[in-house]
Structure 1
Amino acid sequence: MSPGRPVPPPLAKPLPDLSSPAPAAVGRLAAAYGATSTHSGLVPLTIARRAPKEDDVEIAIEFCGLCHSDVHATRGEWRLPEYPLVPGHEIVGRVSRVGTAVSEFAPGDRVGVGCMVDSCRECASCRDGLEQYCERGNVGTYGVRDPRNGGELTQGGYSTSIVVDKRFVLRIPEALDPAAAAPLLCAGITTYSPLRHFHVKPGNAVGVMGLGGLGHMAVKIAKAMGAVVTVFTTSASKVGAAVELGAERVVLSKDDDAMDAAARSLDVIIDTVAAPHDLNPYLRTLRRDGALYQLGLPPEDMPPVQPGLLIRRRLTYSGSLIGGIAETQEMLDFCSAHGVASDIEIVRAGQLNEAYDRMVAGDVKYRFVLDTATLHEPSTEADA
């Protein structure tokens, strides 16, 4: 267990037997891990899941990826959330029950849930299949009040089950390893979407800034699209890893000569760096009509972009946020067809707090994934 964290309390009540079917009108309890305050760490909880409505899919969760945003959310680093809070928005499991109006999924299907579980469904963005940009605000998988379900607080995938409207459930191809597929539902679609928006095709030159959970997926997906990939990193220790992932070139961004040599060599750059950094040296590596997509969200202001760099070569500086449901399904099918998945390390429930500390320290290659079968295990200092 991480120093200074209390030993988690036992489950508040016994868990029901989920092995036999229950009437469709009956909700269920789920074992979970979540935070009860900004300083509680992740502790065992029992949460209630609603009974599936006619359009709902109930999922028995097998794996859930750990995203750095989970750390920020549970520790109240972005805003003070409502507690208890169960994180997790990279969910893979099997359908256990479906509502009466669901024909798209059946019990036993392997499915996934990503960063959102609903949207207004009416605004221009939703009608265009871009639910992530819902103009009334999409409903996040955890930590958000869900207006379509009585204002319940959404709780995420560090749990044994979840109930989600069929419109926000994704089909996981059986060819994908379910654990390695989980991070595709956040890191995968976050990097796929801007590459797809730029229409990356074979022979394009793609730059990737940063080689963490997002960056390693950007390299893999760009390579699968046929691009020639350059990785920018501040760390010489990551050169070998970048080449191993498929990068043709690695540029140490602190080396001015190396950056000068890369001038006007790239068509598009995917920026995954979440710390403040100067974009101007990277913009100089773009060709005419190139684009830099910002995916990392630094907590502080960035140095200003020099307008002349944009004007002289008609460059685009843009942001991108996950992807819509249709595009996320497209990404999953693409990854299945091209053998693309995340590089992961499986963690048990009792190791979640340690995994959070390791994520903050950058000690993961490249994504942690929770095996939810371990949620029933007692947490001890030995395994935490």
Structure 2
Amino acid sequence: MQHWLRVPHRTDAYEAFGAGVLHYALLVLLCATLLFSLFVSSPVQIIFIPLMLAILGGCYVLLHTGRLRAASTIFVGGFWIIITVASFSINGIRNASVSSYAIVIIFSAILFSNRAVIVITLMSVLAASILAVGETLGVLPLRMTPFYLADRFFQQIVLFSVAGILLAAASRMIRTNFTNIYQHDRTLLERNQALELEIAERRRVELNLRISETKYRLLFENIPVMAGVYGQDGEIILLNNAAAQMLGGTPHTLQGRNMRDVLAPDDAEYGIKHQARVMAANLPDTSEGKAVLPNGRELYFLRYIMPLPNAPNQGASQVLVLTTDLTEKHLTEQRQRELVLAREKKHLSDRFFQHYLA
């Protein structure tokens, strides 16, 4: 029973608005028609009241069984036909029902498209014009009846009630829409504020990253240790000033070239293979060796190779190579060994002469 008294649920907001208006309008009209049946004063009313109840009851059932479009069509069309028949049968243009065309037009505007509103409006204007012209020329066989108090009272009650329902529903929808718009704007404002804070935080982080990047870049470029980043096949991706100077160029002229272009063939192939092993194992390695520089000078070095992974849990495609020049140390140790060897030779020579001269 409660299902038939509640407004039908519709997912679309405008359909819910139309269903609510039609629901309450049908309830008011049903109640008014039932009450008016107690005050029947003419045989014509005995015909119109059951017809009205049948149309209203059918629309109410269709509305509450999910057929909003069918209920709206029957309601508006039936209501218009009843008003027209009543006006053309009794009292003509002076029939109070003629003013109900306005209610039908408003209902059509709520329940249908703009085209339907235009059609209903034109039909209503045409019907009223025919009534006025017909009465003026005396061509309509109208039955003139006295205006009964009960008839006029119930007509006005229905008009006022339906108008109140329409305006109340429209007002409620307008308030609801304004509330939704306000909440939407407020939510949008809060999201914009949160987005602005997030953007400001990202800018701050990016600024710190740029500052840190600048610091590390300056540190990388100016440290005395030779540093470079190399690709899989010996491509020189990045060099600092010390490494570029040792190879006889600048970072700008050497980056993008290959190790084979700046080192002796054997030294280049050895370095490329060593770097490939480090990338394959994904583990750092340290080694000592000797290489011939482009100017012909021999370089003794200590090399530390560290793989640079592309992403976490992925293999390395580049390596960072830190090279320390051990040439001076090697030459110093070599001179020390030569001095020691010379002392030993001198000592043996002295002992030899002392032994034979004695």
TM-score (normalised: structure 1):
0.18
> Which structure has the highest strand share of the two?
1
Report the TM-score, using the length of structure 2 for normalisation.
Answer: 0.19
Larger radius of gyration: 2
Structure with the larger RCO, 1 or 2 (CA within 8 Å, 6+ apart)? 1
